[in-house]
Amino acid sequence: MQVYLDNAATTPLDPEVFEAMKPFMLEDYGNPSSTHAHGRKVRAAIESARKKIAELLHCTPGEIIFTSGGTEADNTIINSSLLTYGIKHVISSPLEHHAVEQTLHNLEKRGAIALSMVNLDAKGHVDLAHLEALLEKNPNSLVSLMHANNEIGNLMDMQRVGELCEKYHAYFHSDTVQTVGHYAHHLGNIKVHGMAAAAHKFHGPKGVGFMFIRKDKKLQPFVYGGGQERSMRGGTENVYGIIGLAKALEIAYRDMDEHMHHIKVLKARMIERLKENIPGVDFHGDSADLDKSLYTVLNVCLPESDENGMVLFNLDLQGISVSGGSACSSGAVTGSHVLGALYPGSKRGAVRFSFSKYNTVEEIDYAVEKLAALYKVEA
């Protein structure tokens, strides 16, 4: 049996999305920057996709800029906001995705910024009182904090952070790669200036995403070229990727309630069965809280065991695709910077299961059975 439970890394392409993309792979091949009929037809399709995304997110089409994915979007917003507004101080957290964390540490190393890390509680939540203290001391900063953590599933109150940023005239960027397509974002209400998304996290194609840049907080370009994307991102557009992105997001919003319910049922079953079958099992962050966490992610904290260093490999041998890590590196597992920050020195193993609309109860039961067998317990 082959079981894919690594949907936070990437999701399978929805067949409806592929059908929407096919004409732009085989028939509508014009360059959207060309002024002839072939080009105009493709340009119209791109703008229609942009309009559809803007409608779903409650923003204007001009605030959606297509990119190669979340990493480019994060890098662009961070670097361009510093350049555009002359920002010299950044506030972030040690739990950010590498697209943010490594970018900021590189900027700090070069002397381009001073970097402050906001305090976290024992479960990895941002200490909002400390965030306000940092902002009070350093107004006009860039604040870069993710909406949902890709490893432990914690959700951040974007609205509250946005209100603090507004109070202290800070530029607020949020990596929303794990939540776009899984939650409804009303950008007319959320006080965020820039955010990132990637199509392959919600059953769209890889290699395409977008950044939202609020129209009253415009940025200078990060990638120059032929003036594409309203001169905000040079380079010929990934046309069929953009078409697929818009279609995937449309499907995600259309079926969001149904898919959320389906995935929560699977996640609840896995939590229950893991507790029943692995003595001492626990869960990292908020991931086991069905109401408070990113519903697509469950990060399992395994008992101390000699099996921990090989658990991902052994599950892979059983046809189960997952990801993981631990607070410490071992010969087989690279330490997670997220778990290392929250649980320094812990010798417990970790497996991240992440779910999609395509997963089944049978797959959940099989995964629990095989994981429990590694710990000498019959499921």
Strands 64-67 and 114-117: unpaired
Structure confidence at residue 332 (pLDDT): 45
Structure confidence at residue 98 (pLDDT): 95
Q: How many CB atoms lie within 10 A of CB 145?
A: 22
pTM of the model: 0.94
CATH number for domain 255-374, candidates 3.10.20.30, 3.90.1150.10, 3.40.50.1370, 3.40.50.300? 3.90.1150.10
- For the chain, the C-alpha Rg in angstroms (whole number) is 21
Distance CA(252)–CA(293), nearest Å, equals: 19
AA identity, residue 7? N
User: Which own/partner contact pairs does 28-33 have at CB distance under 8 Å and 24+ positions apart?
Assistant: 28/239, 31/236, 32/228, 32/236, 32/237, 32/239, 33/226, 33/227, 33/228, 33/236
Residue ranges in the chain whose pLDDT is less than 50: 326-332, 379
Both structure tokens of 20: 């929407």
What is the side-by-side order of every strand in the sheet holding 323-326?
Answer: 282-283, 297-301, 349-354, 323-326
Domain spans of the chain, in order of start: 15-254, 255-374
Structure confidence at residue 327 (pLDDT): 45
Category of 165 on φ-ψ map: left (φ > 0), alpha (ψ -120 to 50) or beta: alpha
CATH number for domain 15-254, candidates 3.40.640.10, 3.40.50.1000, 3.40.718.10, 1.10.10.60? 3.40.640.10
Known active-site residue 301: no
Distance CA(185)–CA(169), nearest Å, equals: 23
Distance CA(200)–CA(335), nearest Å, equals: 25
Distance CA(109)–CA(106), nearest Å, equals: 5
Strand residues in 241-360 grouped as ranges (E): 282-283, 297-301, 320-321, 323-326, 349-354
Assess contact for 75 and 269: CB atoms under 8 A: no
CA dist 117 to 104, 280, 374, Å?
11, 32, 38
Beta bridge partners of 283: 300
Beta bridge partners of 148: 155
Structure confidence at residue 328 (pLDDT): 42
Say which of 59, 165, 301, 328 is annotated catalytic.
Answer: 328
Structure confidence at residue 349 (pLDDT): 86
Both structure tokens of 290: 């069905």
Assess contact for 292 and 149: CB atoms under 8 A: no
Burial class (CB in 10 A: 0-12, 13-18, 19+), 230: middle
- Rounded to the nearest 10 degrees, how much is the dihedral formed by the CA atoms of 320, 321, 326, 332? 90
Which residue from 262, 372, 260 is spatially nearest to 307, judged by alpha carbons? 372
Structure confidence at residue 345 (pLDDT): 79
Structure confidence at residue 325 (pLDDT): 64
Assess contact for 14 and 203: CB atoms under 8 A: yes
Assess contact for 341 and 94: CB atoms under 8 A: yes
Instruction: Summarize pLDDT for 68-100 with one digit per residue, the tens.
Output: 999 999 999 999 999 999 999 999 999 999 999
Distance CA(174)–CA(336), nearest Å, equals: 21
145 CB-side CA count, 13 A: 31
User: Three-state DSSP class for 83?
Assistant: helix
Distance CA(151)–CA(285), nearest Å, equals: 9
Structure confidence at residue 334 (pLDDT): 64
Assess contact for 191 and 163: CB atoms under 8 A: yes
Distance CA(341)–CA(197), nearest Å, equals: 25
Angle at 229 between CA 223 and CA 233, to 5 degrees: 5
